[in-house]
């Protein structure tokens, strides 16, 4: 089973061919947006970080930004700094080049003489890269080149009963083909961590699963807070989820049934193929951003209550098993899997349909979030989102 993608000079394979306009800090974000609006074929992110951050937060921000530039869906990057921020353009350039050898141009607003001069030069660089990217032809690649991200948000009982099991079955299928499937949202393992630990490929990986959960709970306890004060969310409760443990037992279904072969840090690239865990917060957008920075080319996102969220460089396929949600939000939801709950189709049936949707998106089909141009970005912090 194959898909059509773009081979990058660093050996990775992308399913999109974006030119990324990447601001080093909040102070460069508006300039980056101005450049992207002028050059079709580019995307820009809104970066609210990059300055006035403690050392740990700055390191996370820089890793995320560099990871986004290295994502296989990006042909090349125009990096824009202000000049006096903590995430210096020279530092960012060095970090990006340590991760990928794809095309990269760097500009500093204060050195170029202001916004107008920077936008003019950046527009020239971006136009050049878009032209180069447009000349690339898709090639056929095996599914083993694919990294799938999985996430859930706005969950209700239909998520754990149907849509997450469908994604889990898809994960198993892809892992069996040699792909990588990323399970995330560490805070939504709580109460189900022992189940995941039993599936760890080694005792060391099992301990890592317990450790990342304990780190979150200890962090909140140290400042007098409890994760359960904000999770489940009001929307989760309104949908019928009553406890964090109940939410977690539904969440982990996205990981299917294959052994967990690796646990790794937020926004890092997995080193192994198979089912892996990225340590991310439960906050949807920060989690999705970390997965994109980790190199996933596509994400499947389950929702019971409904969400419009997307990512600027990684297609996000949204599915629901709540028929009412699908009927109300067809402009946001890509696939209705409620037939599983109604006994019309099995989990395996809908997993097969979801696999075909993933292949179609990999081959160029535009997701609902892409059609709207949704490009949500949030970056985790030392004071973690939960």
Q: Is residue 144 predicted with pLDDT exceeding 70?
A: yes
Residues 45 and 156 in one domain: no
Q: Is residue 63 predicted with pLDDT exceeding 60?
A: yes
User: Does residue 9 lie in a domain region?
Assistant: no
pLDDT tens per residue across span 92-137: 999 999 999 999 999 999 999 999 999 999 999 999 999 999 999 9
CA 227, 262, 144, 252 torsion: positive or negative?
negative
pLDDT of residue 384: 59
Q: Is residue 334 predicted with pLDDT exceeding 70?
A: yes
As a whole number, the mean pLDDT across the chain is 95
- Please, which residues have CB within 8 angstroms of residue 96's CB and are 6 or more apart in sequence? 65, 66, 69, 70, 77, 79, 104
According to DSSP, residue 162 is labeled I
Angle between helices 55-70 and 89-99 (to 10 degrees): 50
Rounded CA gap, 120 and 23, in Å?
16
Note down the domain range covering 40: 18-134
User: Does residue 10 lie in a domain region?
Assistant: no
* Strand boundaries in the chain, DSSP class E: 2-7, 13-14, 18-23, 42-44, 74-81, 104-108, 139-142, 147-152, 180-183, 260-264, 274-278, 298-302, 316-320, 335-336
Distance between terminal CA atoms of the chain? 37
pLDDT tens per residue across span 304-324: 999 999 999 999 999 999 999
User: Does residue 5 lie in a domain region?
Assistant: no
Q: Is 222 helix (H, G, I), strand (E, B) or coil?
A: helix
Of the candidates 246, 244, 266, 247, the one whose C-alpha atom is nearest the C-alpha of residue 182 is 266
Residues 53 and 199 in one domain: no
Residues 223 and 241 in one domain: yes
Q: Tell which of 88, 107, 134 closes a domain.
A: 134
CB 240 within 8 A of CB 253: no
Q: Is residue 383 predicted with pLDDT exceeding 80?
A: no
Residues 220 and 353 in one domain: yes
Rounded CA gap, 24 and 26, in Å?
7
Q: What is the pTM of this model?
A: 0.95
Residues 74 and 205 in one domain: no
Q: Tell which of 134, 161, 176 closes a domain.
A: 134
User: Does residue 379 lie in a domain region?
Assistant: no
CB 273 within 8 A of CB 178: yes
- Looking at the 3D structure of the chain, how many domains does it have? 2
């Amino acid at each position: 089973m194959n898909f059509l993608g773009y081979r990058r000079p660093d050996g990775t394979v992308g399913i999109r061919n974006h030119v990324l306009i990447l601001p080093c800090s909040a102070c460069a974000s508006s300039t980056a947006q101005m450049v992207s609006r002028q050059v079709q074929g580019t995307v820009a992110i809104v970066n609210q970080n990059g300055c006035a951050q403690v050392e740990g937060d700055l390191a996370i921000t820089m890793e995320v930004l560099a990871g986004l530039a290295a994502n296989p869906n990006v042909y090349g990057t125009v990096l824009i700094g202000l000049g006096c921020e903590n995430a210096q353009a020279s530092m960012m350039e060095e970090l990006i080049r340590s991760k990928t050898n794809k095309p990269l141009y760097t500009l500093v607003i204060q050195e170029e003489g202001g916004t107008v001069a920077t936008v003019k030069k950046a527009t020239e660089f971006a136009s050049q890269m878009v032209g180069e990217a447009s000349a690339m032809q898709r090639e056929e690649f095996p599914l083993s080149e694919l990294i799938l991200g999985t996430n859930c948000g706005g969950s209700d009982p239909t998520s754990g009963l149907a849509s997450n099991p469908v994604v889990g079955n898809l994960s198993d299928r892809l892992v069996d083909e040699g792909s990588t499937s990323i399970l995330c949202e560490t805070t939504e393992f709580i109460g189900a961590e022992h189940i995941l630990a039993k599936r760890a490929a080694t005792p060391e990986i099992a301990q890592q699963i317990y450790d990342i959960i304990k780190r979150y709970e200890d962090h909140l306890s140290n400042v007098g807070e409890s994760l359960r004060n904000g999770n489940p969310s009001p929307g989760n409760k309104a949908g019928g989820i009553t406890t964090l443990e109940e939410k977690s037992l539904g969440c982990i279904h996205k990981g299917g049934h294959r052994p967990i072969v690796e646990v790794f840090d937020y926004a890092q690239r997995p080193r192994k193929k198979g089912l892996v865990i990225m340590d991310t917060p439960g906050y949807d957008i920060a989690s999705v951003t970390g997965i994109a920075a980790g190199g996933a080319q596509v994400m499947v996102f389950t929702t019971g209550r409904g969400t419009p969220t997307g990512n600027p460089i990684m297609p996000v396929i949204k599915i629901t098993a709540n028929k009412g949600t699908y009927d109300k939000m067809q402009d946001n939801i890509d696939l209705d899997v409620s037939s599983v709950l109604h006994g019309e189709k099995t989990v395996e049936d809908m997993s097969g349909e979801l696999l075909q949707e993933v292949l179609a998106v990999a081959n160029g089909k535009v997701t609902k979030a892409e059609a709207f141009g949704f490009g949500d970005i949030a970056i985790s912090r030392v004071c973690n989102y939960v």
